[in-house]
Amino acid sequence: MNHAVKGFLAAGIAAGIKKNGQMDLGLLVSERPAVAAGMFTNNRVTAACVRLDRERLAASGTCRAIIVNSGNANCCTGDAGMNDAIAMAKAPAGDLGIDEEEVLVASTGVIGQKLPVEKVEAAVPALTRMLSPEDGLAGFARAIMTTDTVPKVVTRKGEIGGISYTITGIAKGAGMIRPDMATMLCFAATDIGIGRDDLRRIVAEANEKSFNRITIDGDTSTNDTLLVLANGMSGAKVRTDDDKITFSETLEAVLVALAKMCVRDGEGATKLVEISVVNAASHADARRIADTVANSNLVKTAFFGQDANWGRIFAAMGRAGVDFDPERVDLYFGDVLLVENGQYVGRGAENAATEVLKQPEFSVRIDLKAGVAEEIAWTCDFSVEYVKINADYRS
């Protein structure tokens, strides 16, 4: 599929930040100023790039370029780290002929180590010469990866007023994932025209229905960043309430697809699992139960072992801080009813449920029979490989 977005160029290169010599520096550029909206980690420990981007978005709400490095988080690095983030933003500005304040920065990798910004500066001239609309996006996607096994790129097209527009989203993330804002790193480029306030609201809403619904290991990163740029170069423009709904649905589709790709590619993961809580008394109740089950290590290890251990799910539900009647709950693995009104259905149902758990993707549905509210979370299993990856991450 062609991922190109009108007026956007990108590239990726190996700058020598990673020890293994893989690509580790990416650049995304809009040919003209783009309206920008961002969401960032709520972790109290924040990387220099997060603080810099917050400042720049608050000041202008526009952006011309995003430069991203992998292999080093530039977090817990003090004043020197902030100076390095500023220098990193400045590096492509001269070659691109733009103001350095129009450049946003993102970093991902090991926390607490000084960013080798001199390697970034040395690589930027070659990086800017490599900028291209289609191949460049593929290179950018690979350059921002850390423990990801595959690049994550999603494109959707829409139409407003008879004019088509494109959204392409690129994400990285396979570990340290339990978003409390957006997640990991995600960048979306669109050629639609939209106002700053509308873009901010739509990005926040789409994020809440996508990245804020996933978990891999229950940890929120210090560097989580979601940035969306809209340069208006397609000629399509968001004007009416219907236009806003149309664009919102398209962006949400991109972010949901990327979010699920991240969970599917979770460190050591072998399964993508949708936790669905239905007929809850409120959306808040449904959300709390879905999140608690999705983040339970015991539930996740049972998924890995293909063990339909429904007692672990009930135990997680019971500590979610939600008032519900356990003796009314039905529990399904896929379409298999394993628990009805809080009681085990029997060995035949468990055998069928075990077959569901052998699939690479399946759902767990929890029916509270307490109302009409529904919520979803996406999670993965916990495997031995997850421990190995994170035990060796810095070496």
pLDDT in the model for residue 268: 83
Q: Which of 21-25, 137-141, 151-155, 262-266 has the lowest mean pLDDT?
A: 262-266
When pLDDT is cut at 50, 70 and 90, the band that residue 182 belongs to is very low
265 band by pLDDT with thresholds 50, 70 and 90 = confident
What is the Cα–Cα distance from 92 to 120, expressed in whole angstroms? Answer: 10
Q: Which of 41, 146, 166, 183 is catalytic?
A: 183
For the chain, the average pLDDT equals: 94
- Among 8-12, 111-115, 215-219, 255-259, the minimum mean pLDDT is found in 215-219
Tokens read off for 2: 């062609």
Query: Nearest-CA neighbor of 41 among 199, 181, 184, 242?
Result: 181
The candidate with the shortest Cα–Cα distance to 169, out of 180, 178, 160, 156, is 156
181: pLDDT strictly greater than 60: no
Look-up: residue for tokens 């997850």?
386
Instruction: Write down the pLDDT at residue 393.
Output: 60
User: Taking 80 as the threshold, does the pLDDT of residue 117 lie above it?
Assistant: yes
Tell me if 287 sits within 8 A of 376, measured CB to CB.
no
Among the ranges given (89-103, 219-233, 304-318, 349-363), the one the predictor scored with the smallest mean pLDDT? 219-233
Share of the chain above pLDDT 90, in %: 86
CATH code linked to domain 8-264:
3.60.70.12
Tell me: pLDDT of 307 over 90.
yes
The full set of domain ranges for the chain reads: 8-264, 272-391
- According to CATH, the topology of domain 272-391 is Ubiquitin-like (UB roll) (3.10.20)
Indicate if 183 belongs to the active site. yes
Q: How many residues does the chain have?
A: 395
Over 60: is that where the pLDDT of 395 sits?
A: no
pLDDT at res. 179: 64
pLDDT (tens digit per residue) in 337-385: 999 999 999 999 999 999 999 999 999 999 999 999 999 999 999 988 8
If one compares 183 and 236, the residue with the highest pLDDT of the two is: 236
Tell me if 210 sits within 8 A of 252, measured CB to CB: yes
In this prediction, residues 209-235 reach a mean pLDDT of 91
31's CB contacts (< 8 A; 6+ apart) are: 7, 8, 9, 231, 233
pLDDT per residue as tens digits for the range 49-79: 999 999 999 999 999 999 999 999 999 999 9
* Segment 310-326, tens digit of pLDDT: 999 999 999 999 999 99
Question: What does the angle CA 57 – CA 61 – CA 63 come to, to the nearest 5 degrees?
Answer: 85
Least confident segment among 228-237, 262-271, 293-302: 262-271
pLDDT tier for residue 394 given thresholds of 50, 70 and 90 = low
Strands across the sheet containing 336-340: 343-344, 336-340, 330-333, 361-367, 272-280, 373-380
